[in-house]
Amino acid sequence: MSAARRGRGAGRVGAGRVGAGRVGAGRVGEFRGLGAWAAGFYGFLYFPIVVLVVYSFNQSRLALMWQGFGLRWYVKVFHNEGIRGAAYNSLVVAASATAIATVVAVAAALALARGGEFRGRHAVLGLISLPLMVPEIVTAVATLMFFTSIGLALGLGNLIIAHTVFCIPFAFMPIRARLAGTDLSLEEAARDLYAGEWASFRYVTLPLMMPGIVAGATLSFVISLDDFIITLMVSNEGTTTLPVYIYSMIRQGVTPEVNAISSILFAISVTLVGVYWIASRAPVEAPSKEEKTP
């Protein structure tokens, strides 16, 4: 018991002093080389990304030959009509799919979080998580055959429908997590004060779930923007998105232009994931500070 106490105490002291107390097999749960292993792991995780970004500033015409720093390929990307068109398509699809998926997900999350236990609850939850479980390539070919069979040819509309489907669970999860973490008593208090169902939703529930909505919407935007396999199958010549365009560039040969556009896409994803991260960690508290004082 006392040894355990001491062990815990040592854990709280800064890492710098831990080494001094090392006896025999080492401090409890401390492994020599574990830190180095973790460092290697993070190195492995980020090495390809660093290589990609560094080489995007390469002046050389050949992707693999370093010839000095420059923005040449970024300039080329911005003047590439094909990339501009594909980027436009990507943004339209991602924005539309996100908007629809988020609204759909908010309604579903509210019904599931506030609906109590009801028949079919598990079936609905299973259906919503279906796009997460089915391998993308399977979804892709099933959607392709479905659209072809019913003769649906709405151009970007086809892509927006396909993207909305797999964006729903990504929008849904953070919203549901947020609702699960909020206090029902706040809504009940609003209702006690004669707020109607709509008023209590508008002024209490909605502000409370807002960080979840922002997180969910950001996540589905990232997922839509980055989707490749489903888009590759469902899109046609007129509806190429950025990842599909990058794929065709890679197939034609490895050029530094791919590095530049990939680095831009990477920067956008990281920024959006940052927004998601901050929004999903917003503390759950009453909409205004005054309500917190007793």
Partner 1 sequence: MSSAFESHPATRWGALAPAVVVIGVFMLVPILIMAVISLLEANPYGGVYHHFSPAAYVQLLFEFDLDDSLVFNPGYLIILLRSLVLALLATLSCLALGFPVAFYVTRQPPRRRNLLVLLITIPFWTNLLVRAFAWIIILGRGGVLDTPLKALGIIDESLGLLYTDQAILIGLTYTYLPLMVLPIYASLEKLDFRLVEAASDLYADNLTAVRKVVIPLALPGIIAGCILVFVPALGDFISPTLLGGAKHLTLGSLVQFQFATARNWPFGSAVAMLLLVFVAIGAAAYVMLARPRDTAR
The total of other beta-carbon atoms located within 10 Å of residue 205's CB is 21
Q: Choose between 51 and 282: whose C-beta lies nearer to partner 1.
A: 51
Indicate the residue among 236 and 293 with the shorter CB distance to partner 1. 236
Alpha helices in the chain (DSSP H): 2-12, 15-18, 34-56, 72-79, 81-114, 121-133, 136-150, 156-181, 184-192, 197-200, 206-226, 229-234, 242-252, 256-280
Q: Which two tokens stand for residue 207?
A: 């502000």
Q: How far is the CB of 250 from partner 1 (least distance, A)?
A: 6
Which CB atom, from 72 or from 163, has the smaller least distance to partner 1?
163
- Judged by CB, which is closer to partner 1: 233, or 279? 233
Place of tokens 């791919």: 258
DSSP label at 13?
A: S
Task: Supply the minimum distance, in Å, between the C-beta of residue 294 and partner 1.
Answer: 24
Min. distance of Cβ 84 from partner 1 in angstroms?
18
The three-state secondary structure class of 236 is: coil
Contacts of 273 (CB under 8 A, 6+ apart): 218, 222
Least gap, CB of 72 to partner 1 (angstroms):
17
Instruction: Supply the minimum distance, in Å, between the C-beta of residue 51 and partner 1.
Output: 5
CB nearer partner 1, residue 51 or residue 75: 51
